Amino acid sequence: MCRYGRCNICVNHTDHHGNNSCSNGVYDCTGCGDCERVGRWNITQIFGQRKCSAGEPNYMCWHENAGVKTGGMWYSTTSIGYNVTWKVSKVLKRISKSCHDNVLNDHVEQSNLEIFKDAGCRVGDARNTTDPRWIAAFYNATLGPDAARPGGAVAGMPLSQLVAAWMAPFQSSDTTKGGCPSLPIPSEVSG
């Protein structure tokens, strides 16, 4: 394994990791050293040691506490390394991000309706995920009300419920049962 590559899709000529002259729509990786190899970052260690500070915006605490709650590893599999040091062995299902977001948000809202109602948020098809009240309600539901504060307890929905909500769109293609329809798998990654 090598150093983790911070990879993002370039939007408005920035990858949000320091490259402010990338090409829009291109998957850009920075800081990965030998980018032919798979990079790895232990989120449990990284976020287990970092804590947000007084005066930082709520989203900094939520960002770090999401890592504390979920833990695990992040891997950077760059396009340069595809079929050199890594390959897709099998694709089980491909779904749209918007469908996945809707299913996950439905689960979080339905499991925590009072939090969203108390915040004055619309839920379901009428939700506005850019409304600061909805965003705060989402993180209060998933991480607990103290997770926005330095040193605050990480609580909220049990991790097993969050994992189930994350996986639900892949379990079925029936949107009436909380699933997402399959999208075509590009031939270059069909395994």
Q: Give 94-132 pLDDT, tens digit per residue.
A: 999 999 999 999 999 999 999 999 999 999 999 999 999
Rounded-to-10 torsion of CA 70, 76, 77, 79: 140
The two tokens of residue 99 are: 């469908």
pLDDT for residue 38 is more than 90:
no
> Residue 74 — pLDDT band, cuts 50, 70, 90?
confident
> Residue 88 — pLDDT band, cuts 50, 70, 90?
confident
Q: What is the pLDDT of residue 190?
A: 57
Q: What is the pLDDT of residue 189?
A: 67
Run of H or E residues at 143: helix 132-143
Tens-place pLDDT, residues 2-14: 777 777 788 898 8
Backbone phi, then psi, for 6, in 5-degree steps?
Answer: -80, 110
